[in-house]
Chain A
């Protein structure tokens, strides 16, 4: 699914690389937490997988595509096989729930027939069938994030990228979102989720990849959220 070999990324105007020789292998159907402090390179890694940026050295293959040598006109076609969810939801405020979800199908030219069956399907999957006609401003944060998840998966992506999807949510709502992501993962979609949420990581016992200063310092199966030698006070379980 995702194969990264010795990828180095240095941004212009910075001597310190954002990623220092990262190697990572993610298989189909895996659920991977990406943890680490701000500036550890999580976002950079996510951007690489989305092909918003490419490494200066090394290689990255996602869904069988060599992203460094992928022609820019093929990038949109590649991205159709990925779904993305963000901390700040990024819904279109002037469109209702149904239209927000349908939008991502419409812009890639899906047929009316596809949209009319797929959109109600994902809305019922995320539990928002009743609120299809509501505007985003009328929804709670958790509901808005569920709309964003529905939008990310309506085109049936192979990989779901989630960049701190629970960052703006309270613990209960976060739990709902995580249940949803787990269900999507059980359906066969690979999930790569960057997070700071210790409670979630500890509870779900999934594979954890920890980044620090642009390096992978830990890659464990069924692990918890531990940051070695950071001197942080262990946070009480939030639930």
Chain B
């Protein structure tokens, strides 16, 4: 009964303030959508890290005749140099860190290369001798690639040591920058949403100052005077939050799953299950922030 009365008061406030309430809905929608995008990008980064870091290898590329002279003054790595590298991989110093390794010959490298670039004309210009022989090393802990890099840099016959995670890290830092940007935009938008909510609530209270005056005179509790205004802000912000939740789900469903995932089949993408993890936080965030903003606004208004 009392709640229904409060709801009726809120509805009256919303009706008398339609344009402001719509602006709250839109601003909350946009700001929470950015929060959702930032969160999804973080989840995407984690998803890719989990998938790729386990598979990432460290490659010890041996010299070829076409390698730069600075790294390989003697040209193609000799049998002895290859054996020396393998001995070191097997040594007590490195063995504990290594899960497994294998040696890739010129022919194997060529085969892989032709497969990867089957559609490209590059494949026809490349000969097996131009491609590096290499030790492919899987580490027990992919984070410790520095051990391999340091052990083999500058060793005779080694052209380069390359951690595949290096390629991933640049992708991740790109995604991370996107996530941080989205987060920053979300922060600014949220700040303006909060200010907008508190302005709207003050306007709404001003337009109902007669009712407030009468409520005080007849002894309505502070809670029952303030609650309809808080409810008004929360209802508007919740509508915005629901829109942003819909936008997040729709963008995962149609943009990521139907578009990106189809075009990049070997990449792990965030799915609806992860989007559904984000959605409750968006709605809860919208409700809590708007409740706080409108509660502070109405208290300050009524104190003056």
Q: Do A and B bind each other?
A: yes
Enumerate chain A interface residues (CB-CB to B < 8 A).
50, 73, 75-82, 84, 90, 92-93, 103-104, 106-109, 111-112, 151, 155
Cβ contact within 8 Å between B219 and A84 = no
A108 to B221: give the CA distance in the assembly, Å.
Answer: 7
A80 to B224: give the CA distance in the assembly, Å.
Answer: 14
A50 to B215: give the CA distance in the assembly, Å.
Answer: 13
* Residue from A75, A80, A93, A111 in contact with B218 in the complex, judged by beta carbons closer than 8 Å: A80
Stretch from B206-214, B235-243, B245-253 forming part of the interface with A:
B206-214
Closest 7 CB pairs of A and B: A79-B219, A80-B219, A104-B218, A107-B220, A76-B219, A76-B221, A107-B215
For this complex, 11 residue pairs linking A to B, each with C-beta atoms less than 8 Å apart, are A75-B219, A80-B219, A82-B219, A84-B217, A103-B211, A107-B218, A108-B218, A108-B220, A108-B224, A111-B1, A151-B214
Question: Is B117 an interface residue, CB under 8 A from the partner?
Answer: no
Most buried by A among B211, B214, B224: B214
Question: Is B5 an interface residue, CB under 8 A from the partner?
Answer: yes
B211 proximity list for chain A (CB < 8 A)? 92, 103
Given contacts A79-B217, A90-B214, contact A107 B5 (CB under 8 A): yes
The distance from the CB of A64 to the nearest CB of chain B, in whole angstroms, is 16
Question: Is B222 an interface residue, CB under 8 A from the partner?
Answer: yes
* Residue from A90, A104, A106 in contact with B210 in the complex, judged by beta carbons closer than 8 Å: A90
* Residue from B1, B213, B218 in contact with A79 in the complex, judged by beta carbons closer than 8 Å: B218
The majority secondary structure among interface residues of chain B is helix
Closest Cβ neighbor of B2 among chain A residues: A109
A155 proximity list for chain B (CB < 8 A)? 218
Most buried by A among B211, B216, B217, B218: B218
A81 to B222: give the CA distance in the assembly, Å.
Answer: 16
The distance from the CB of B59 to the nearest CB of chain A, in whole angstroms, is 72
Interface bin, chain B? 10 to 19
Enumerate chain B interface residues (CB-CB to A < 8 A).
1-2, 5, 210-211, 213-222, 224-225
Closest Cβ neighbor of B228 among chain A residues: A107
* Residue from B2, B210, B220, B221 in contact with A92 in the complex, judged by beta carbons closer than 8 Å: B210
Cβ contact within 8 Å between A112 and B219 = no
A155 to B216: give the CA distance in the assembly, Å.
Answer: 14
A106 proximity list for chain B (CB < 8 A)? 5
The distance from the CB of B34 to the nearest CB of chain A, in whole angstroms, is 39
Cβ contact within 8 Å between A103 and B217 = no
The distance from the CB of B126 to the nearest CB of chain A, in whole angstroms, is 83
A77 to B221: give the CA distance in the assembly, Å.
Answer: 7
* Residue from B2, B214, B222, B224 in contact with A104 in the complex, judged by beta carbons closer than 8 Å: B214
* Residue from B1, B213, B216, B222 in contact with A112 in the complex, judged by beta carbons closer than 8 Å: B1
**Additional A-B contacts beyond A92-B214, A108-B224, A155-B218 (16; CB < 8 A):** A73-B221, A76-B216, A76-B219, A76-B221, A76-B222, A81-B219, A82-B219, A84-B217, A90-B210, A90-B214, A104-B217, A104-B218, A107-B215, A107-B220, A107-B225, A108-B220
Given contacts A109-B2, A109-B224, A111-B1, contact A103 B219 (CB under 8 A): no
A93 proximity list for chain B (CB < 8 A)? 210
A93 to B221: give the CA distance in the assembly, Å.
Answer: 23
A75 to B221: give the CA distance in the assembly, Å.
Answer: 8
Closest Cβ neighbor of B5 among chain A residues: A106
Closest Cβ neighbor of B218 among chain A residues: A104
The distance from the CB of B13 to the nearest CB of chain A, in whole angstroms, is 12
